Amino acid sequence: MKRFAVIGLGNFGFHTARALFEDGNEVVAIDIDKGKIQAVDPYSTEAIVMDATDKDALKAIGLEDMDGVVVSTGTKISVSILICLYLQEIGVKKILAKALDEDHGKILRRVGATEIIHPERDMALRVSKGLSRPNILDFIPLADEFDLIQVDPPRQFIGKSLQELNLRAKYYVHIIAIKELVPENFILVPPASFVIKDSDILIILGKSKDIKKIKGLV
């Protein structure tokens, strides 16, 4: 059995901790938010309310003995940098840190992160590779709350730009890619000006309950 710690329990951190725990590992979940700790408690060996920028507090829980520590602290770049620095200083050998962009990732590596995670970019690459092969899946299950689907555009979408449709605001979903059939082309992260045609195939990411609403339009 391996032992891991997850620092920062936003969406990515929560699901990372849960997946590691359900795979039979010991998981220490850490966040400054008591509500997030209560939510992850059933899916962790130990859930701790703690300010991870407190170096002495980090040292006290023995993270240097972990098989890996995942740092996922949201949009506060300075927080993740400080935590990675402290983890490196106390002797953690494997530090996996979520980065917001390439520059953030470079800084995290310089202060001790051994592996950089770019969730959106990595998922986009996975999707594009899957779609470029003949065995394309029409429906791909993700984490418990999220789905990725490939659908023909609903009638009311045709002839409108992504900016006009504003699906993120209306349905809380994201069109992360479009496969054009005429002429054949694949567009990853299409621009807001893209106008949907009846020959297009939409690749949409969102929470399961919101994806159901889109599927109901088709």
Q: pLDDT of the chain along its 218 residues, tens only?
A: 899 999 999 989 999 999 999 888 999 999 999 999 999 999 999 999 999 999 999 999 999 999 999 999 978 899 999 999 999 999 999 999 999 888 999 999 999 999 998 887 777 766 665 566 443 444 454 555 778 888 889 999 999 999 999 999 999 999 999 998 878 888 988 999 999 998 899 999 988 888 888 888 86
In terms of domains, do 19 and 98 share one? yes
Pairing between strand 95-98 and 68-71? parallel
Q: How much is the pLDDT for 144?
A: 57
Domain that holds residue 208: 121-217
pTM summary value = 0.60
In terms of domains, do 61 and 25 share one? yes
In terms of domains, do 156 and 63 share one? no
In terms of domains, do 63 and 141 share one? no
Give the CATH number for residue 139. 3.30.70.1450
In terms of domains, do 109 and 13 share one? yes
91 backbone φψ class: left, alpha, beta (φ>0; ψ -120 to 50): left
Q: How much is the pLDDT for 165?
A: 94
Strand order in the sheet with 46-49: 46-49, 26-31, 3-7, 68-71, 95-98, 115-117
In terms of domains, do 12 and 90 share one? yes
In terms of domains, do 157 and 103 share one? no
Helix axis angle for 102-110 and 77-89, nearest 10°, is 20
Residue that finishes a domain, picked among 117, 145, 176: 117
Q: How much is the pLDDT for 138?
A: 46
CA angle 179, 167, 146 (to 5 degrees): 75
